[in-house]
Amino acid sequence: MQSPSPDALDLKLLHALQVDGRAPFSRIAEILGVSDQTVARRFRKLRTTAGLRIVGMTDESLLGRQSWIVRLRCTPDVAEQLATALARRPDTSHVDLISGGTEVLCAMGARSRQDRDELLFDRLQRTPQVISVSAHCLLHTFYGGPLGWLDKTQALEPDQEAALRLPYSEPVAAPIALEGADEALLAVLRRDGRVTFSELQTSTGQSESAVKRRLERLRSTGILYFKVQHDRESLGHGISAMLWLTAAPSALDTAGRKLAEHHEVRFAGATTGQANLLATVATSSTSELYTYLSKKIGGLDGVQAVETALTLRHVKQLTYEPSR
């Protein structure tokens, strides 16, 4: 039996968590005009019906790290096994099975050139069932990172969103160096962004004051942000697709910015390669995807070609959980 779709209050709660993933239930309840118990009950329900999770993410660009999108074409018998192995790596954030189960798409943020080369030029190239490997460096993000699709729902009123949004400090020069204690804190938050301060203390061996100080610094500089992970089908978006667009160089920036405004777009970025724009989109049906491609994508000036691949399964989203 299909789970009931989230109602208006659920969407407000999800949007609130997108704005501040660690906001106390009491604060969210005050802003939404409901009780603490209602927020807690809705949160528990969404965890069950929509797979709701809040996870900590890092802005790799601020840490001086490159982000890569890797496309792997392989034989059908090894695709799922390869995707699972990539999902277990700590340097991958997303792993999808696409194109009839013969292609794996992986987003990775290598911490060093050695780690990048070891994966791209050694392990993957030496895997017999891998037919081809193409790696595309992410040059610019038009939509994604701290911005998520829930921001596009505008479920919250502007004043409600403003009341939840944390103030950020002045921009700092990249790259920002992390200490070992920072890395330990981030490792815990990647598994659960709403983990309590006492649990953070226990997991990292740091004092409460140190945990709070480091957490505030990581958030205020923009290194750490939080993502709302959920089952897209439960929100009426059962079709996910990857778009590889080729835009004329003179039209790349304009096309990317227009693409980011599309309601269907979850992520949009400029990459290296012949197809220089990448987007992930979600729609309710294949007919809606067709309309989107023919109308909105077809109306983008300067876009010369587009390749579309349906996402068959999300093997890893932000944090690894074995697929069921």
Domain residue ranges in the chain:
142-151+234-316
Cα 165 to Cα 18: distance, rounded to the nearest angstrom: 10
Q: Residue 262 pLDDT more than 70?
A: yes
The dihedral built from the CA positions of residue 144, 148, 152 and 156, taken in this order, carries a sign that is negative
Work out the average pLDDT over 111-115.
Answer: 74
Most trustworthy range by pLDDT among 2-11, 84-93, 143-152, 287-296: 287-296
Q: Residue 234 pLDDT more than 70?
A: no
CATH of 142-151+234-316, one of 3.30.70.920, 3.40.50.2300, 3.20.20.70, 1.10.443.10: 3.30.70.920
Give the DSSP per-residue string, 195-221.
--HHHHHHHHT--HHHHHHHHHHHHHT
Work out the average pLDDT over 7-18.
Answer: 95
Per the document, the length of the chain is 324
Per-chain mean pLDDT for the chain: 89
Cα 297 to Cα 245: distance, rounded to the nearest angstrom: 9
Q: What is the pLDDT of residue 233?
A: 72
Work out the average pLDDT over 46-57.
Answer: 92
Q: What is the pLDDT of residue 245?
A: 98
Q: Residue 59 pLDDT more than 80?
A: yes
Q: What is the rounded end-to-end Cα distance, in angstroms, of the chain?
A: 17
Q: How far is CA 177 from CA 116, 137, 211, 217, in A?
A: 19, 22, 17, 12
Cα 240 to Cα 264: distance, rounded to the nearest angstrom: 10
